[in-house]
Amino acid sequence: MKVVIVGGVAGGATAAARIRRLDEQAEIVVFERSGFISYANCGLPYYIGGVIENESDLTLQTPDSFWKRFRVSMKVRREVTAIHPENKTVTVRNLENGAVFDESYDKLLLSPGARPIKPDFEGIDSDKIFTLRTVEDTLAIKEYLTAKQPESAVVVGGGFIGLEMAENLRGLGVAVTLVEAANQLMAPFDSDMASMIHAEVRKQKVALLLGHKVEGFEGTGAGIQIRLQNADPLYADMVIMAIGVTPETALAREAGLELGMKGSILVNEKMETSIPDIYAVGDAVQIKNFVTGADTLISLAGPANKQGRIAADNICGGHSRYTGGQGSSVVKLFDMTAAATGINEKTAKSLGIEADKVILSPMSHAGYYPGGQIMTMKLLFEKETYRILGAQIVGFHGVDKRIDVLATALRAGMKAYELADLDLAYAPPYSSAKDPVNMAGYIVENIKNGVVKQWYYDEADTLPRDGSVTLLDTRTPLEYSAGHVEGFVNIPVDELRERLGELDKEKPVYVICQSGLRSYIASRILTGHGFDAYNFAGGFRFYDAVHGDKELGKKSTPCGMDA
């Protein structure tokens, strides 16, 4: 059996190694258009920033090492320009000498990935504008930084690459403005959770321009002008375009393969395309969202590697199935970590899914052990069924651990209240006896059993201030005086029982505290005395972060200035 693979990075390289492990006699040829194979895409921004010091550390394998270990022929600087399914050949161009030849196959695997979106803006071809996808892109940016010593940069796009580049450029002392067309960074997160990401970005002196669209570019001698829609232009020494990627599927289209959303390649669970003996994996394929069952595109390394392995199994006569992706992701943002899995609240609403949520702010480990820091967790679940839909966490320590537990629970089909039953490891330096994941489960369990009723941030401004309801803040007077929600009166939780006479039992009581714990205790006290009480999901700390972000968002500042 002869297998030809187009693309030698995540999915393609994984498939090649797996095929060899399953079939020692197979002939395996990989054509990679760039000069590098099996490289760490996710590490590219950190090489630019100097966190990863050696260029060689980005490359996990070389053509020579791949041949020595797997006897796979890795051909770099070779571009497949056409597929001929009728006679099972591909046309290949040698990019080093221009030679063109045909290569036959028994099985063909396409792993072409995706290319950065580069709109047809005026001035987009400036040598001061860069995208980041390949090692070659990385080296070009690194060379520009070394040679030109730019003092300012505009990063266009607030996704993974945009944020990682903003961080690494700031680490080099470059003044950075981050421009995002949407009103928030990081689309996998809901806007309330994104507010904490915005705060960290601003804290690190990145000027943040949300809700601004780039319209074009113009050279200005040593620098470049960035034109914005309905806003003054920006000026910088360089630009990083990071507004997303689009499937690289021209080959598939010209070969007659059936395509899906955004021109992606349609595959079944076995990663088979619409033409026999042709498989496809990675960023170029349309898959199913594991949570919703809807068609989707997920450009992440984890799914690409899994798909490469599954395609290899099936090429070798196996029966592996890809059951869909849930978009589990984590990103380092300066000192902060943000992670998500499954769908967010915005997506649930758009799909008509009746969802509920809990928001909590637990410590990363036992409070009495030094160094603990607060994280904010948002767990989304389906009403009635309590099926876990997704989760988002923003914090400083232990975020990656908790999102992986929640991603596993989602995959296993656990109910949200069953998180309370998880037997998780505990020692003071690492967690608490009641882990944050357990705590999320306890809150959901309380909701399920009618022990607590919640109210949410988006109700804060619409709650009546005419005396028809009671608005109660149960923090200390000192905390209350430092900031509170307008219209809320202060009765500390430890004084509440003695001061119940100040409240009207005929009126609903909306309760808030700093993190949600004291207000929960207050809600139980009130309920026990015949009041109709509602606890705020997230606490005043969460309210203040979201509210403050909305106010700052109205005051976005130009390039190089702190927002």
Overall residue count recorded for the chain in this entry: 563
Q: Are 407 and 341 spatial neighbours (Cβ–Cβ below 8 Å)?
A: yes
Which is nearest to 14 in space by CA: 43, 35, 34, 39?
39
DSSP string, 153-206: EEEE--SHHHHHHHHHHHHTT-EEEEEESSSSS-TTS-HHHHHHHHHHHHHTT-
Show Cβ contacts of residue 174 under 8 Å, excluding neighbours closer than 6 positions.
145, 150, 151, 152, 153
**Chain centroid offset of residue 111 CA:** 22
Beta strands 355-360 and 376-382, pairing class: antiparallel
Q: Is residue 42 flagged as an active site residue? A: yes
Q: Are 150 and 177 spatial neighbours (Cβ–Cβ below 8 Å)?
A: no
DSSP symbol at 526: H
Catalytic residue (choose from 42, 316, 513, 559)? 42
Between CA 25 and CA 34, with CA 30 as vertex, the angle to 5 degrees is 160
122, β-bridge pairs: 216
Between CA 563 and CA 372, with CA 171 as vertex, the angle to 5 degrees is 80
| Burial (0-12, 13-18, 19+ Cβ within 10 Å), 352 | exposed
The CA distance from 509 to 348, in Å, is: 29
The side-by-side arrangement of strands in the sheet containing 223-228 is 214-220, 223-228, 231-236
Q: Are 22 and 318 spatial neighbours (Cβ–Cβ below 8 Å)?
A: yes
Single-letter residue type at 461: D
The CB-side HSE value for 129 (13 A sphere, CA atoms) comes to: 24
User: In 96-171, where do the E strands start and end?
Assistant: 100-104, 107-110, 114-116, 129-130, 152-156
Based on its alpha-carbon atoms, the radius of gyration of the chain, rounded to whole angstroms, reads: 27
Phi/psi region, residue 157 (left: phi>0; alpha: psi -120 to 50; beta: rest), is left
Show Cβ contacts of residue 439 under 8 Å, excluding neighbours closer than 6 positions.
360, 362
The CA distance from 113 to 545, in Å, is: 37
82, β-bridge pairs: 91
If DSSP codes are grouped into helix, strand and coil, which group holds residue 442?
helix
Q: Which two tokens stand for residue 135?
A: 């090692």
Q: What are phi and psi of 18, to 5 degrees?
A: -70, -40
Between CA 210 and CA 214, with CA 213 as vertex, the angle to 5 degrees is 125
Single-letter residue type at 539: G
Q: Which two tokens stand for residue 40?
A: 């760490």
Give catalytic residue positions. 42
